[in-house]
Amino acid sequence: MRVLLVGAGGVGTAITRIAARRDFFDHFVVADYDPARAEAAVASLGGAGGRFTARRLDASDRAGVSALLREERCDVLVNATDPRFVMPLFEAALESGAHYLDMAMSLSRPHPARPHAECGVKLGDEQFERAEEWAESGRLALVGMGVEPGLSDVFARYAADELFDEIEEIGVRDGANLTVEGYEFAPSFSIWTTIEECLNPPVVFERERGWFTTPPFSEPEVFDFPEGIGPVECVNVEHEEVLLIPRWVDADRVTFKYGLGEDFIGKLRTLHALGLDSTEPVTVRSADGGTVRVSPRDVVAACLPDPATLGERMTGKTCAGTWVKGTRDGSPREVYLYHVVDNQWSMREYGTQAVVWQTAVNPVVALELLATGAWTGTGILGPEALPPRPFLDLLTAYGSPWGSREQGPAGK
């Protein structure tokens, strides 16, 4: 297997460090708009970097991506960029006859008249519009294959296959007790993506109603997370699982709630009130006295520390998981399937902070399953469309086991 990895930021660099310890691939081409980032990712592998090459690539340049895929004879494109670049990379892979894997899907657009009640363009809609072409190509586009979405979707499939007869609700619940020394506000993941997720109208799925939206930060609940993280208030957030899981898993309701905390929510609301969450360029004065067009959200991202650099200052754990409520053998049952990463462990073992490492390990596991033939498919598939047990077993073999907890309401 030859892989084109597009994006050498925190997640992309972590992907290289995890993959370098495995033998399922022949070569990784690590590409980034900033060639220094790609070169640094490869250089950090030391003697293990012989199967890796750094290249410069503009992820928005579909023709350039297609040309590099052909030149390097890559079998699969792994997208580790932010969601703005999903469609050119997705289309370049299809055009070039390569498989495709991403961790976040094509962007949504709110309903123009009723954004907090009805869906407009949903996450992934632009990709699923090309489903027939992908199926005819004989290639696989594995979408939403990070941790959330990704591992959370694998958990949903596993619960449906092995733990429940009927499912009332599948609720992805994400929480952490991570702190970053020296910063009043330092998100542990891309602020660009965080703003997109948290300020867009959240989507909920109900069998009788289909997909619909609610106001941001709706339906707060306190969820008790395992391994010492404890109770965290979680709220509805727009996320791909709600759009993916109902396509392949039978459930009455699907939700995604994120443990943001009151302070984080307050800062996001302030950004929105000031228009600093906007992606539409505005004209500002430049250092040379002229003017330049710049997106307010990009300015916010530039003012905050790079999440990939926060590991040394970060302490605590992060938890991604899927809570499932239903029945088994006629009796009520609730289970929380989860994956916890301790920042101290990920920094010691990989030199990568916990949130970034937890995101990165799952596409590498998926690549290995595709390389060995344990996972196969054509067309556009989510993780829940594939058998879960090989994935969960291999994740454990990577040294990062998952857990399962029988529980009652509110995560107790």
State residue 160's pLDDT score: 98
Q: How far is it, in rounded angstroms, from Cα 112 to Cα 118? A: 9
Q: Which pLDDT band, with edges at 50, 70 and 90, does 260 fall under?
A: confident
The stretch 166-172 carries a mean pLDDT of: 98
The stretch 302-326 carries a mean pLDDT of: 89
State residue 324's pLDDT score: 98
Q: Which amino acid is at 390?
A: P
State residue 341's pLDDT score: 97
Q: Is 411's pLDDT higher than 70?
A: no
- 266's CB contacts (< 8 A; 6+ apart) are none
Tokens of 254: 């699907």
Q: Is 197's pLDDT higher than 80?
A: no
Q: Is 183's pLDDT higher than 90?
A: no
Q: Is 410's pLDDT higher than 90?
A: no
State residue 333's pLDDT score: 98
Does residue 365 or residue 280 have the better pLDDT?
Answer: 365
Q: Is 326's pLDDT higher than 70?
A: yes
Q: pTM for the whole thing?
A: 0.92
373-400 core/surface letters (b: 16 or more CB in 10 A; e: else): ebbeeebbbbbbbbebebbbebbeeeeb
Q: What residues form DSSP beta bridges with 102?
A: 79
End-to-end CA distance of the chain, in Å?
Answer: 44
Mean pLDDT (the chain, rounded): 94
